[in-house]
Amino acid sequence: MTALRDTQAAAVPGRRGRVRRTALLLVVLLAGAVAASMLVGAGHLPPAVVADALFGDGPVTPQSLVVTDVRLPRTVLAVLAGAALGVAGVLAQGMTRNPIAEPGLLGLNSGAALAVVLAIGLFGVSTLTGYVWFGFAGAALAAVVVGGVAGIGRSGTVSPAALALAGAAVAAGLGSVITVFLLTNPALFDDYRFWQVGSVAGRDLSIAAQAAPFIVAGLVIALTCGPRLNALALGDDVARSFGRRPGADRLVCGIALVLLAGAATAAAGPIAFVGLAVPHLLRGLTGPDHRTLLPLALPAGPALLLLADVLGRVVIPPGEVQAGVVTAVIGAPLFVALVRRRRVVR
């Protein structure tokens, strides 16, 4: 791999500087997004009050409670889920060598959704720690079905149409099963409709704390995946000639993908298109090397999800639009634009 790295570095002399500038830009953007998430909301709170509630040791007031119990948890959850989804998107697109791959299209969301419904409806599980395991199992199972049908295991190249349709088919089939449970159990339906919209609001810090270990584990594995994804990008035969084992590489990346998407979905509900958008934005900024894409997705994913969440808070006052809806409404046109580019479809 060293030889490969040297040639890549030599080919693009200004690359390192560009990566550094992009990283700095993204971190600043993320800091701004975090600040906006703490400052913007239904009620106006002056920055001093917010800072005091977070760092001061003044008395507990209604305003400080808004900051610590409402805005802080959703900001933390958005950072965690955004990082997980952004990195998962890089993994999904790299693994499938497919520019429209993302965790949602791979069926991970609907698998996790069915598992969560079964957990609540059949087994009476009501804590996120309970859901998370079901979420993983469901996400993994759906990923295996969609991946198998679309043919990820075979050559590594997946036709965009096969992928999108396999994801849509799995989502629709699982949706039918979910509907049976929802129609026979109104209380379950009431929980489910709020979970399924995809939101980081109204979840307390313990949810973020429960999802965090899984997301951190997924991120740690994912950050070792840069060389693996670079090798997979060459095609299986060339990768083998470099001494890589494509099957093993794909398995490790797949485990990280399921951990990240499963935990993010269990905690925040299905949030669409973050995983699609982040890799495209980053590739446009720094090029296709996965060793830079993966770490850069760490600030980029949260920044995007936070901005979507903040936008949702101000767009229809006094109500708010959930982050999952904002990302879908912004993401769908992006998806269409990608598909309209000739390169994606043959």
Partner 1 sequence: MDAPQAAPLARPGGAPPHDAGGTGREDAGVLRGLRARRRRRLLVSGAAIAAAVVIAFVVTLSVGARPVAPLDVLAALTGSASPGTELVVLRLRLPRALTALLVGTALGLAGALFQRLLRNRLASPDIIGISAGASAAAVAGTVLLGLSATGVSVAAVLGALATTALILALTHRDGLHGVRFVLVGVGIGSGLLAVVSFLMIRASLTSAQENLVWLTGSVNQADWSRTVPLTVACAALVPAALVLARALPRLELGDDTATALGLPVGRVRLALIAVGVLLVAAAVAAAGPVSFVALVCGPLATRAAGPGRGSLPHAAGIGALLVLASDLVARYLVADVALPVGVVTGAIGAPYLLLLLARARTRGTT
- Interaction site with partner 1 (CB under 8 A): 100, 104, 145, 148-151, 159-162, 164-166, 168-170, 172-177, 179-180, 182-184, 186, 189-190, 193-194, 196-198, 272, 319, 321-322, 324-325, 328-329, 331-333, 335-336, 339-340, 344-346
Place of tokens 């629709």: 172
DSSP 71: I
Of the pair 72, 171, the CB lying nearest partner 1 is at 171
How far is residue 243's CA from residue 1's CA, in Å, rounded to a whole number?
A: 9
Q: Which residues contact 68 (CB under 8 A, 6 or more apart)?
A: 53, 54
Q: How far is the CB of 172 from partner 1 (least distance, A)?
A: 5
Cβ proximity to partner 1, 36 vs 170, nearer residue = 170
Q: Judged by CB, which is closer to partner 1: 21, or 154?
A: 154
Query: Least distance in Å: CB of 144 to partner 1?
Result: 12
Q: Which of 302, 275, 279, 305 is nearest to 292 (CA)?
A: 279
**Given CA atoms 214, 297, 142, 231 in this order, what sign does their dihedral have?**
negative
- Separation CA 195–CA 178 (nearest Å): 13
Residue 335 CB, nearest distance to partner 1 (Å)? Answer: 4
CA distances to 52, 106, 111, 164 from 169, in Å: 51, 10, 12, 9
**Residue number, 162 or 233, with CB nearest to partner 1:** 162
Q: What is the DSSP string of 304-346?
A: HHHHHHHHHHHHSTTS---HHHHHHHHHHHHHHHHHHSTTT--
d(CA 298, CA 86): 7
Segments of 4-81 assigned E as strands: none
How many CB atoms are closer than 10 A to CB 292? Answer: 21
- The residue among 34 and 116 lying less far from partner 1, judged by its C-beta, is 116
Q: How far is the CB of 325 from partner 1 (least distance, A)?
A: 4
Question: What minimum distance in Å lies between the beta carbon of 340 and partner 1?
Answer: 7
Kindly state the smallest distance separating residue 326's Cβ from partner 1, in Å: 9
Beta carbon nearer to partner 1, 150 or 260:
150
Closer CB to partner 1, residue 161 or residue 233?
Answer: 161
Using CA atoms, how far residue 173 sits from 112, 162, 169, 249, 290, in Å, is 13, 16, 6, 30, 34
Nearest CA to 337 among 276, 274, 271?
A: 276
Which residue, among 335, 266, 305, 319, has the nearest Cα to 109 in the 3D structure? 266
C-alpha span between 281 and 264 (Å, rounded): 21
Beta strands in 110-151 (DSSP E): none
Residue whose CB is less far from partner 1, 44 or 340: 340
The encoded tokens of residue 265 equal 């979905």
**Nearest approach, Cβ of residue 209 and partner 1 (Å):** 25
Q: How far is the CB of 245 from partner 1 (least distance, A)?
A: 23
Give the residue with the Cβ less far from partner 1, 214 or 335. 335
> Considering the complex, what minimum distance in angstroms separates the CB of residue 259 from partner 1?
24
